[in-house]
Amino acid sequence: MNARQRILTAIRGSTGAQRPVAVIAAEAAALLGRPEVARPGLAAPELREAFALKAAAVGTTIDHLDRMAEVPAAVRRYLDAQGLPAAVALQPAAALAGLDWGGIATHPDIAPDEAVGVGLAEWGIAEGGSLVIHSGPDNPVLLAFLTLHHVLVLREDRLLPHLEDYALAVQDNPQPRNAILITGPSGTTDIEGSYVRGAHGPGFLHVIMVRDSSDL
């Protein structure tokens, strides 16, 4: 008996007799029929609060607004608080470009050492405080990777409870070339166990959550 056979024999011995496929399928169907058995509960009853709690736990900062028109002023507050110049790489989406950015210099191109990028989140996932962005003609994905500070505008009506709810929400829509799931700022402890912020992407993630998007 070679090494491979010994390993497979040990695995078979530890798992016991093989279970019928029909039994396994029935158990899987039962779990799908009762998702609350397999899915974790949310951090709060309201999606808005649940998302905010989870996002803050992984280092995301959050600002709450009533209207989209208030976004430029909120971005300016963030820049001032971080001691940053009033200049941002702005996602060339109509919902952002149509706002009054007076006092903040905006540009669509993203430099390798870009300080701040401002974009739109496609969805927010309350389960983990995560954000989803889709690539497209009006959303260059480098905005999510090259900037030191990533500021994302999230509409409250785009909040979903769990990750699989996102999969359901987009299953009948044309699929983007890239779908990026973002949970907190980038960081790693791979180097000598020391936390390094911004190792693989933005070191700071700031969410501007907008309650009323009727002015879009």
**Could you tell me if 181 and 200 lie in one domain?**
yes
Q: What is the pLDDT of residues 21-31, one digit of tens each?
A: 888 788 777 76
Per-residue model confidence as pLDDT tens digits over 128-140: 999 999 999 999 9
Structural domain including 131 reads: 42-212
% helix, strand, coil for the chain, step of 5: 35, 25, 40
Q: What is the number of domains present in the chain? A: 2
Question: Residue 180 pLDDT > 70, yes or no?
Answer: yes
- The answer on 2 and 60 residing in a single domain is no
* CATH number of the domain residue 112 falls in: 3.40.50.10420
- Which stretches of 74-190 are assigned E, i.e. beta strand? 87-90, 105-107, 116-120, 123-125, 130-134, 149-155, 159-160, 179-182, 187-188
The verdict on 78 and 116 lying in the same domain is yes
Same-domain pairing of 86 and 159? yes
State the pTM of this model: 0.82
Domain shared by 106 and 134, yes or no: yes
Q: What is d(CA 31, CA 28) in angstroms, rounded to the nearest whole number?
A: 5
